[in-house]
Amino acid sequence: MDDPTGLGALALRRAMDVGRLTAAALMEATLARIARVNPGLNAIVALRDPAALRAEAAAADRVPVAARGPLHGLPMAVKDLVGVAGIRSTWGSPILADNVPAQDDMLAARLRAAGAILIGKTNTPEFGLGSHSYNPVHGVTGNPYAPERTAGGSSGGAAAALAARMLALADGSDMMGSLRNPAGWCNVYGFRPTYGRVPVDPVGDTFLHQLATDGPMARSIEDLALLLEVLAVPDPRLPHGRPSEPFLAALDRPAGRLRIGWLGDWGAAWPMENGILSLCRNALDDFPDATVEDVPPPFAAARLWDSWTTLRSWAVAARLGVFHADAGRRALLKPEAIWEIERGLSFSAMQVHRASVVRSEWNAVAAGLFQRFDLLALPVAQVWPFPKGWDWPKSVAGRAMDTYHRWMEVVVPASLLGLPTLAAPVGFGPQGLPMGVQLIGPRGADAAVLRAGQAWHRATDWPGRVPPAGVA
């Protein structure tokens, strides 16, 4: 077989099962591509010893077809916010620069159990804070379509590795657009599942903080569904779990006539760089078998933002407060992390309660919208991929940004409610930079959102437009 790295995960699995491809050959091609492409992008970090990887791939070829898992023989690099046994796992922080876990976190363990070969990590911002993948441990990740620009974040390394054909599948995580923004900016798909769909390790509180979730990233909807089935197996130790579903088989059913509500810039509440709204809105007009309706702002944007930033800072403080409490480690945190932690530590219980009341009110309004629409749609970002030397955009369309994440306000409506959201590519702007749209469904409607994505992918296949030759 010619270079297999351009194939998707399902195609690779089928080729291995019928003997047209071996895991060893796939690993060799993957290592060669990483050696050729990754130095210019810095998407994959902490790459394991090639000899050990070749040995694991050879062992995978000896497993009978009937005993192979759904990800058998697929090289995967795990986002560097997940602990992986035997692989340097830093969370992008100098505090954990030399951390090598003795055991896998749940996500990594599930990938291994499904047959994936874990080759290293994908780059991320420090502790996942910010939608731009740079940190003092591994450096900055570039965009395969414009390497001098950002790949987004916090799953920027994952998205760039997919777009550059170094990986066929990747895991991402998403609190405030962390897999939606990189997917849109790297011309691939990212899926934020309904909160609770993908379990995490039951460590610490498992009831209160419902903002972040892991999810799959890929170049096709079928591959998204494949990885989601591996990750979305409920764990009885967690209170918000959902039953397993056959997401891949669900794609065989037609999406049906779709009603899409376009929310745009939320009635000019959010500044947008030129060309983003028109590209995304025009793309929706091409959505197969769908009607699109422009929707006025259904809720006060300022109230959503206040609720979100309170609950987010509270969650960040709960997670990272242990580092802040130690003066030596606090000095190693980036300013944005310190700001979030100190803000979260300052809140009273009633402030958090009031923020959750606003979230509850928005949930009731959103439920009404989903009586009228199957999907709600928004751009994945308010800016085009910016120069990778920046830390974050200080202004958007002439409006100053008052926090390090204000320029990503467009992702808040879905994040606040934990709604299933597909980041789908919609093409390229005048500078050749990719952009995507968020397709948001009601809670629990993950399969329906993926079916809509499958209809879009079959009609467009934007990820099939590979990065320029010589770049990736």
Among residues 154, 155, 173, 220, which one is catalytic?
A: 154
Say how far apart CA 295 and CA 369 lie, in whole Å: 10
> Which of helix, strand or coil describes residue 364?
helix
- Residue 128 exposure: Cα atoms within 13 Å on the Cβ side: 25
Q: What share of the chain is helix, strand, coil (3-state, %, to 5)?
A: 40, 15, 45
Tokens of 152: 């987004």
Among this protein's residues, is 178 annotated catalytic?
A: yes
Strands 290-294 and 258-262: parallel
- Rounded to the nearest angstrom, the gap between the alpha carbon of residue 101 and the centroid of all alpha carbons in its chain is 23
Q: Is 121 a catalytic residue?
A: no
Q: Which of 89, 131, 173, 178 is catalytic?
A: 178
Cα distances (Å, whole numbers) of residue 190 to 51, 68, 429: 31, 26, 20
> Phi, psi at residue 28, to the nearest 5°?
-60, -45
Give the Cα separation of 283 and 299 in Å (integer). 25
Q: How far is CA 388 from CA 131, 132, 143, 228, 254, in A?
A: 11, 8, 9, 30, 40
**Is 356 in the active site?**
no
Catalytic residues, by residue number, are 79, 154, 178
